[in-house]
Structure 1
């Protein structure tokens, strides 16, 4: 499935930009997509000149132009490589807050996905810093965050879903977006796709430890089993739409979703996790769901963050004039 037609790749120097470029080139080639390469100078236009003028006198503006030229040359070399591999590529150097300018570019140009390497760390892996988390939380299109040198190749993909008891809600549509993306990427990379759904009876802990409920544990057991059965029915209904996923690779995990799925992912060792990043009450984009936050901070693999239909980024385009 040619899912992506317009790919935006963030190639800041402090990120795993080589890994991001490799994955973006591969994805562009298999999808016949156009590729936009972006670097961001973390200062508003004119700000470097102003700061440098205080030190260097009248040469501040000239030094800022040199800085911009360096970033342009850097991107031009990457774009030249992309074109040599048959990929339509353009490049842009932006100035300002990294995540704000990237999201504004998505809003202006309607990119299908953003690919970025996490912030580089001395040990060679990537770590999720503030700019990475802001993109994952607030970018309106899917964000593919790569965290290690081997993240361009995938053998195992894990999708996380949470079917809603209310039926065809925004959240259930999000589950379908997650599954569509996970299954198509797994097929494209010839990877094994696993799907995890965490469930629990929210009141179980209180019922197990209440002074007056200790003698009624049989009834509590029945309540837990009823909840498990209902969760499984919702999970089965969702997965009926995805017969290409092996039934042995469907996992019902009992526990608090963030912790349960993070522990399962640590044991499974996937190369990529595809997940929704907005909870059922967090459509505004200011707050990421607790489940997503917990997983993102605990797993050590690439992640694709997907937003629901109707998600509105808190970042807006600058007012004209």
Structure 2
């Protein structure tokens, strides 16, 4: 995990930041990283915040606005002091605006290399709510949402991989997933499952009677796809042989959107490390469909990374309070 030097820690009241505190402290010390704590006043921006207090003219809306910001800043400083007391270099910033937009702008402006936060407190059921999903979709740096009772240490980690060495973007992303998952598992003393779901495209259609394709031919294509996929997986994990003592490699037939959530539930996985491969270089294409489906069916902690060249749809503008 020695790759994060400029960590953004979302410590607002809507996030279960307490869950992330120990993890942030460990990360900062392990990486000699600077941590920036942010809180965001949820409004349309400074102008809307000021207008919101216009019903109390005798007090003065500017005075109220200043006091509201001061309270947020004081609470943030209290949280920062707890980290500073443990030797962590901490800065604080109060943002004003739509939280996920301002948080992503902070990432872009200050070039943070990791965003970490506790899960949104309003979360119900096995889904990430809109606030967290916006960050998972649109934030350009790795995003770590902590939602596991195992924190501050993971016990069971799943690395979701789909190696394809003919695709440079996917290869880079898959290796990053493995690097993060293996180093995290080693640091936490956790067990790691490397899961690769494979399938033959349109196998069910080819087996349909209307297709008139001999069953033996379909079986042969399935066997070849399995062998090719297995070879790619073994080539990938061979690069991480030093982690064989904590790593289990699983090559499972099925759609990743089904296989991963099922494995998480069956094996008690508390942390998933996964890539969110989408078309790169085009603003507005946020996340791959498979990744989003998986995220909508799990409730454990998730560390996601984007493909190189990902362009966030959030523009770099606005500022901090």
Q: TM-score, normalised by structure 2?
A: 0.92
Distance (whole Å) between structure 1 residues aligned to residue 123 and residue 183 of structure 2: 34
Query: Once structures 1 and 2 are overlaid, which stretch shifts more, 174-183 or 263-272?
Result: 263-272
* Structural RMSD (CA): 2.1
CA displacement 1:128-166 (0-9 Å, x = unmatched): 2212111111111100001144332211111111112x5
Contact 2:15–2:119 (8 Å) recurs in 1: yes
Deviation at 1:94, TM superposition (A): 0.5
Partner of 1:47: 48
Number of the residue aligned with 1:220: 218
Q: Does 1:274 align with 2:285?
A: no
Matched residue SS, 1:120 = coil
- Corresponding residue of 1:93: 94
Structure 2 equivalent of residue 184 of structure 1? 183
Counterpart for residue 286 of structure 2 = 287
Is the CA contact 2:286–2:312 (under 8 Å) kept in the aligned structure 1?
no
2:107 and 2:61 map into 1 onto residues whose CA distance is 31
Distance 1:35 1:155 in 2: 25
- The alpha-carbon deviation at position 211 of structure 1 amounts to 2.3
Residue in 2 aligned with 1:118? 119
Partner Cα distance (1:306, 1:187) in 2: 19
Q: Residues 26 and 163 (structure 1 numbering): CA distance in 2 closer, same or farther, change over 3 Å?
A: same
Structure 1 28/319 Cα, relative in aligned 2: closer, same or farther at 3 Å? closer
Deviation at residue 282 of structure 1 after TM alignment: 5.4
What TM-score results when the alignment is normalised by the length of structure 1? 0.92
- Give the number of aligned pairs: 315
Could you list the runs of 5+ residues in structure 1 that have no partner in the other structure?
Answer: none
Q: Distance in 2 between matches of 1:283 and 1:257?
A: 24
**C-alpha separation between the residues in 1 aligned to 2:27 and 2:72?**
24
Residue aligning to 2:104? 103
For 1:61 and 1:30, the matched residues in 2 are separated by 43
1:53-102 superposed Cα distances (whole Å, 9 cap, x missing partner) = 0x212522222222111110111101111111011111110111111111
Deviation digits for residues 21-47 of structure 1 (CA, Å, limit 9, x no counterpart): 221112112222111100001111131
How far, CA to CA, are the matches of 2:141 and 2:49 in structure 1?
Answer: 31
Could you tell me which runs of 5 or more consecutive residues in structure 2 were left unpaired when the two chains were aligned: none
What is the CA-CA distance between 1:108 and the residue it aligns to? 1.5
Residue 7 (1) aligns with residue 7 (2): yes
1:165-202 CA-to-partner distances (Å, cap 9, x unmatched) read: x5252111100011111111111111112101111001
